[in-house]
Structure 1
Amino acid sequence: MPIIFARVDDRLIHGQIVQAWLPELNVDEILIPCYKESCLNRGLLRLSLPYEYELTILDPHACARYAAESKRRIFLLMGSLKEFTDLIKDGLQIKSLNIGGMHFKDGAQKLDDNVFLDANDKQFLKLIRDLGIQIETRAVPTSASVSVSEALQ
């Protein structure tokens, strides 16, 4: 499967992605699963991404199949853990997940500088961990990796 990197970041495409992750990863395309196409401004996301990268936005249920059939090297970028767990349920095979940014919301506890988890997030993360998927939080490739699985113990 051509998914090179999977990241949950509620900001989607932003400076850390463009300036730090893309040069490090050697990918061809960013794939964003989204339930409501209206929730994303496709034009703004496209403008935020350097021209040499493809951008594909699909319903999450179509993403696992798309990734399995693609010949491109894919950076899977999601706005929430729900999208990721739905992809796994739809057959996505992946070994690791990076959490880049899940910002504060009511009832959330701080895990790292840019990662706040509520009860639903913790349930999603436990499901992901129990499937043997490694979970880390790291803002940029040069940052120290923090294991999220250990924080869920």
Structure 2
Amino acid sequence: MPIVFARVDDRLIHGQIVQAWLPELNVDEIVIPRSPKAQGNFNEGLLRLSLPYEYELTVLDAHRCKDYIEHSAKNIFLLAASLSDVMPLLEDGLKVKSLNIGGMHFKQGAQKLDDNVFLDEQDKRLLSIFKTLGLNIETRAVPNSKSISLEAVLP
């Protein structure tokens, strides 16, 4: 399976990804599933400019990701903007072993889990489903930081 690392981060490509995660991971490409909701405020060109030239960037409709990833010979960093962008991938049968929660910033009604992770009821419900599916879920902003447990906030 070519997925080396899967992460949810609402900022997508930014300093922590470029300076901390990419040097730690043996990846060739970042694949971002694009939800229909994101189409109005999504700038693929800006994301490409944020990424060092040696890494490829592929942005696909979420339902096209499974086939693309399963037929790829590249080592892939799957990077989603939200938990709801990950759900269609799992529903389509994409096998993801673990999911890193890196940045889900404040939104109305959300509970603070960590400085960069705020979960609303929908997020908690999705994380419970992910755990039921056997995903190992961790929250780390950068590779050498400590993971925060989700057990206290999940139903």
Shorter-chain TM-score range: over 0.9
Candidates 98, 111, 114, aligned match of 1:112: 114
Q: Is the 8 A contact 1:101 1:139 kept in 2?
A: yes
SS at structure 1 position matched to 2:8: strand
* Structure 2 unaligned regions, length at least 5: none
Give the deviation of 1:39 after TM superposition: 3.0
Q: Is the 8 A contact 1:129 1:149 kept in 2?
A: no
SS at structure 2 position matched to 1:30: strand
Give the root-mean-square deviation of aligned CA atoms: 1.1
Give the deviation of 1:71 after TM superposition: 0.3
Residue by residue, what CA displacement relative to the aligned partner does 1:62-94 show, whole Å, maximum 9, x if unpaired? 001111110000000000001111100001101
Give the deviation of 1:149 after TM superposition: 4.2
Q: TM-score if structure 1 supplies the norm length?
A: 0.96
Count residues with an aligned counterpart: 153
Q: Is the 8 A contact 1:95 1:133 kept in 2?
A: yes
Give the deviation of 1:150 after TM superposition: 5.2
Candidates 110, 123, 126, aligned match of 2:125: 123
Q: Give 1:55-66 correspondences, 5 Å limit.
A: 55-66=57-68
Distance, in Å, in 1 between the alignment partners of 2:153 and 2:5 is: 22
SS at structure 1 position matched to 2:109: coil
Letter of the aligned partner of 2:9 in structure 1?
Answer: D
Q: Is the 8 A contact 2:104 2:118 kept in 1?
A: yes
Q: Is 1:21 aligned with 2:10?
A: no
Give the deviation of 1:13 after TM superposition: 0.1
Letter of the aligned partner of 2:18 in structure 1?
Answer: V
Percent sequence identity is 66
Give the deviation of 1:151 after TM superposition: 3.8
Q: TM-score if structure 2 supplies the norm length?
A: 0.95
Distance, in Å, in 2 between the alignment partners of 1:56 and 1:103 is: 24
Distance, in Å, in 2 between the alignment partners of 1:14 and 1:115 is: 16
Q: Give 1:44-123 correspondences, 5 Å limit.
A: 44-123=46-125
Letter of the aligned partner of 1:98 in structure 2?
Answer: N
Distance, in Å, in 1 between the alignment partners of 2:52 and 2:147 is: 26
- Segments of 4+ in structure 1 off by > 4 A? none
* Structure 1 unaligned regions, length at least 5: none
Letter of the aligned partner of 1:30 in structure 2?
Answer: I
Over 3 Å counting, the alpha-carbon distance change for 1:65 and 1:147 in structure 2 is farther
